[in-house]
Amino acid sequence: MPQAAATMEAMQEPSPRVALIHATALSVPPILAAFDRHWPQAQRMNLLDDSLSVDRAAAGELTPAMVQRFVDLARYAQGTGCRGILFSCSAFGPAIEAAGRATGLPTLKPNEAMFDQALAVKPDPVRLGLVATFQASLGSMGEELQALARARGRSVDLRTVFVPEAMDDLAQGRADEHHRKIAAAARAVADCDAVMLAQFSMAAAQPLVQKELPCPVLTSPDCAVLALQKALRHA
């Protein structure tokens, strides 16, 4: 009887509000679809500042002003009652870390969970491919992956591929061309043990890329949603 009562209480508990913070509108549909698949009960609040990716590309580096903007966005989300934050923008790792420190909320980088999955692949050293449609994300994501690998005692041979113009194709409604360009570019890392698609907006290309490659092809949104759900359960 006590167990049944506890189950009923859990069912009646309000679903948590979570903030999804984006630097491009292209990231919104993939993450919402992942929530629909894995955690439809979550109350989702989307915050979009699409000037962030433009400013990051123009500056060529992450500036203190950009970091402060991430902190401000996270504090705003916290003020609305959000219990956790998931950033979908992959070129802003240190800014996301600063946002998490400022709020104290469970705060996830977009690719943390995907990196965890990639580092679980054998052998050691593991050969990993990282394919991106936003070039500025490659450097910061590579650093994050290598830091995580060192913390896990793993060695990584990381190979990166940038797919020019694919993001523009997606923004202009040419999804099939976007997917085709990514799949063609990914052949350059076909000999890796696993390949990661860097941007949330690339998730829909995964089936076509997987047809081209013999190794697992990983995407961020599904892993990220499950990781945030787990983090809030233990918060």
Contact 34, 224 (CB under 8 A): yes
pLDDT at 128: 98
Mean pLDDT of 42-68: 95
Beta-sheet strand order (sheet of 107-108):
43-48, 17-22, 84-87, 107-108
pLDDT of residue 209: 98
DSSP state of 18: E
Task: Give me the pLDDT at residue 91, please.
Answer: 84
Report yes or no: 1 and 69 within 8 Å, Cβ to Cβ. Answer: no
The predicted model gives 193-204 an average pLDDT of 96
User: DSSP character for 213?
Assistant: -
Residues 109-161: pLDDT tens digits?
999 999 999 999 999 999 999 999 999 899 989 999 999 999 999 999 999 99
Lowest mean pLDDT among 12-26, 48-62, 163-177: 12-26
pLDDT confidence band for 9 (50 / 70 / 90): very low
Q: Catalogue all structural domains in the chain, each as residue range(s) with its CATH number.
A: 6-110+222-233 (3.40.50.1860), 112-219 (3.40.50.1860)
Give the three-state DSSP class for 157.
strand
What number is the average pLDDT over the span 29-57? 95
pLDDT at 90: 83
Whether 227 and 210 have beta carbons less than 8 Å apart is answered as no
188, two tokens: 């350059």
Per-residue burial over 86-107, b if 16 or more Cβ lie within 10 Å, else e, is bbbbbbbbebbebbbebbebbb
